[in-house]
Structure 1
Amino acid sequence: MSPEPAGPAPAAVPPPRDLTTHPAVAAVLEALAVQHVRPELRQLPGAVRTAKAAAEALGITPAEIANSLVFAATRADGGVEPLLVLASGGHRVDTAKVAGLAEYVAVDQADPDFVRLHTGMAIGGVAPVGHPRRLRTIVDVTLGRYARVWAAAGHSHTVFATTYDELIRVTAGQPMDVA
């Protein structure tokens, strides 16, 4: 006599969706490949829209997150352009300081539409590379304290490992103390 089943079989958990084919993630991977970078890509189980959430998911400190922040930077001629600041997730960007050092009249937080227009990515998934056009980029010198940092990879569920020097190289970024 065979034993009775203990109850219904547990529901199968579907495998996570492969986000490497997502258009923004694919653009990031392509941009990195052009720079001869094959990153360690991690797909996280949930959206990580903040440096703190990303750090918790990866088991690291927020300071080890290269937070991609897009600002609307006002030039002396009155024009506005996107400015990407790759900031350590451990502190806030001093926009007045960045404006002065980068020779802008003002640097203001960009709205979600401005961010998507200039990066092709939604806030929470903005990567350092893979945008429709290269953005002027500033890289927080604080990230240089860490052997490895993590950056968004084009989607709020994806991140990749990199280094401070690699971020400067692949973005043609300008090192700056942004805090």
Structure 2
Amino acid sequence: MTQQLTAKSSQKVQMFLSQHGKSFVVKEMPESTRTAQEAAQAIGCQQAQIAKSLIFKDANSGDPILLIVSGTNQVCTDKVEEATGLKLAKADAKFVRDRIGYAIGGVPPIAHNEDVKTILDPDLKQYPSIWAAAGTPNAVFELEAADLPQLTQGKWVELAK
């Protein structure tokens, strides 16, 4: 039995998942899932099982870059640059909202306003299931790391500090 989603952005994520042949279910939680730590507490999983969606800007092109990172990892921008040739710069909240379509703290790995180059953290592969944001600071969905490349067109790159 699926719950009725109240937020339009969570509905957008659920629609994307359904249209891509996935039976994943977006869940709106009573607690905040804005940070990896809060999400893990609300869900009852390890913090490392949270797939953080971090938006950067390509310093050369100005295009958004999505890094999907294990909840306990920090990004080493030098590793990403060396592996991909991308020069990562910080993206502010307005850039994320305008280009991606979601507020920071609820950015999902999918269903963005535009196609986004995506880099995946291989550390996520060690868990039988992972959890990702679903459009709001209290909505999540469960998936397997193996689903990420198909859903995001992302590439696995060692990126942790």
Normalised by the size of structure 1, how large is the TM-score? 0.83
Q: Counterpart amino acid of 1:61?
A: Q
> Over the residues paired in the alignment, what is the CA RMSD in angstroms?
1.4
CA contact (8 A) 1:82 1:136 kept: yes
**Structure 2 counterpart of 1:144:** 125
Identity %: 34
Could you report, residue by residue, the CA deviation over 1:76-121 in whole angstroms, capped at 9, with x for unpaired residues?
xxx21100000001110111211221212x2122111111112110
Equivalent in 21, 27, 44 of residue 59 of structure 1: 44
CA contact (8 A) 1:24 1:130 kept: no
SS of alignment partner, residue 103 of structure 2: coil
SS of alignment partner, residue 96 of structure 1: helix
**Structure 2 counterpart of 1:85:** 67
Give unmatched runs, 5+ long, in structure 2. none
SS of alignment partner, residue 126 of structure 1: coil
2:103 is the alignment partner of 1:103 = no
**Structure 2 counterpart of 1:10:** none
**Structure 1 counterpart of 2:134:** 153
The runs of 4+ residues in structure 1 deviating greater than 6 Å are none
Give unmatched runs, 5+ long, in structure 1. 1-16
Q: Counterpart amino acid of 1:48?
A: T
Deviation (angstroms), 1:24: 1.2
**Structure 2 counterpart of 1:174:** 155
CA contact (8 A) 2:10 2:26 kept: no
